[in-house]
């Protein structure tokens, strides 16, 4: 479905980003992968993608928290791919604390990566997409882009910001062949959430599996985790022709979290 398309996925060495990269590759897109991690493991993932799906995958290291690095990364990605058709702004981090206890450096880091990097990546990718009159920008927001939870001030503020930025990006590019949408996942059992499960288990004296069940019980009526693969398939849909008239929207994949 995406044969010949050129895709960039930020934060794709782990979790949701990695699954999105895999689903885009499965559908034929060439890829730039990005994110932190063990160099050998990343190289294995990269060559595995090429072997399994017959596409070209390139790893570009960049700290998306730094404005200049984020913009330069998109420039390098465009050079390496020979263009850019699909940008998935996915890289993100979390920190949990009451507002009055929230460390300033954690606030700044979350806003820089979860919100500002989306702005910088989008700004750097748009000229190429507009020129070719085709582009898909897919922002990985969250249920926390639509509703709030306690102790997640920076994350909720950043993700609400991403939903707003998604709408502005959509409006500024409506009719130009470039769409922008946000996927809003509920709980997905990635390393980012595993940390929260472990913390809850420790706080409440629960086993890790009981803590995982309690996490779901609090928020996600389906009582099942969303899988990274389901989000990858949603990204493929948003990149497809079927979604050409879908822009400025949020796509909730949250087991019913935001329905109540």
Q: Which residues are catalytic?
A: 155
Closest distance to ligand NAD from the beta carbon of 187 (Å): 5
Residue 16 binds ligand NAD, judged by CB under 6 A: yes
Residue 14 binds ligand NAD, judged by CB under 6 A: yes
Pick from 1, 60, 93, 246: which binds ligand NAD (CB under 6 A)?
93
Residue 256 contacts residue 226 (beta carbons within 8 Å): no
Closer residue to ligand NAD in complex, CB, 131/149: 149
Closest distance to ligand NAD from the beta carbon of 12 (Å): 6
Site string for ligand NAD, 194-213 (x = CB under 6 A): --------------------
Closer residue to ligand NAD in complex, CB, 17/161: 17
Pick from 58, 151, 190, 240: which binds ligand NAD (CB under 6 A)?
190
Pick from 5, 8, 9, 15: which binds ligand NAD (CB under 6 A)?
15
Residues contacting ligand NAD: total by CB under 6 A: 30
Residue 169 binds ligand NAD, judged by CB under 6 A: no
Residue 176 contacts residue 126 (beta carbons within 8 Å): no
Pick from 187, 201, 250, 251: which binds ligand NAD (CB under 6 A)?
187
Closer residue to ligand NAD in complex, CB, 191/205: 191
Residue 64 binds ligand NAD, judged by CB under 6 A: yes
Burial 133-154 (b: 16+ CB within 10 A, else e): ebbbbbbbbbbbbbbeeeebbb
Torsion angle of alpha carbons 192, 56, 52, 179, nearest 10°? 60
List residues near ligand NAD by CB under 6 A.
Answer: 10-17, 34-37, 63-65, 90-93, 113-114, 140, 142, 185, 187-188, 190-193
């Amino acid at each position: 479905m995406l044969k010949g398309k050129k895709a960039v996925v930020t934060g794709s060495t782990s979790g949701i980003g990695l699954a999105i990269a895999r689903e885009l590759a499965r559908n034929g897109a060439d890829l730039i992968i990005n994110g932190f991690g063990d160099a050998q493991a990343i190289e294995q993932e990269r060559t595995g993608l090429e072997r399994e799906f017959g596409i070209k995958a390139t790893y570009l290291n960049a700290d998306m928290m730094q404005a200049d690095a984020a913009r330069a990364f998109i420039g390098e990605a465009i050079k390496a791919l020979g263009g850019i058709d699909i940008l998935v702004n996915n890289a993100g981090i979390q920190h949990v604390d009451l507002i009055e206890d929230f460390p300033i450096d954690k606030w700044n880091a979350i806003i820089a990566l979860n919100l500002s990097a989306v702005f910088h990546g989008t700004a750097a990718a748009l000229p190429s997409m507009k020129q070719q009159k085709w582009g898909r920008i897919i922002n990985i927001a969250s249920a926390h882009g639509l509703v709030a939870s306690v102790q997640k001030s920076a994350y909720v503020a950043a993700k609400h910001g991403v939903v707003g930025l998604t709408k502005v990006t959509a409006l500024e590019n409506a009719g130009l062949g470039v769409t922008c949408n946000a996927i809003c996942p509920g709980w997905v059992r990635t390393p980012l959430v595993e940390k929260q499960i472990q913390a809850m288990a420790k706080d409440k004296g629960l086993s890790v599996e009981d803590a995982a069940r309690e996490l779901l019980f609090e928020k996600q009526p389906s009582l099942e985790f969303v899988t990274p693969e389901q989000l990858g398939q949603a990204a493929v849909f948003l990149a497809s022709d079927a979604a050409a008239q879908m822009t400025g929207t949020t796509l909730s994949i949250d087991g019913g979290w935001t329905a109540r």
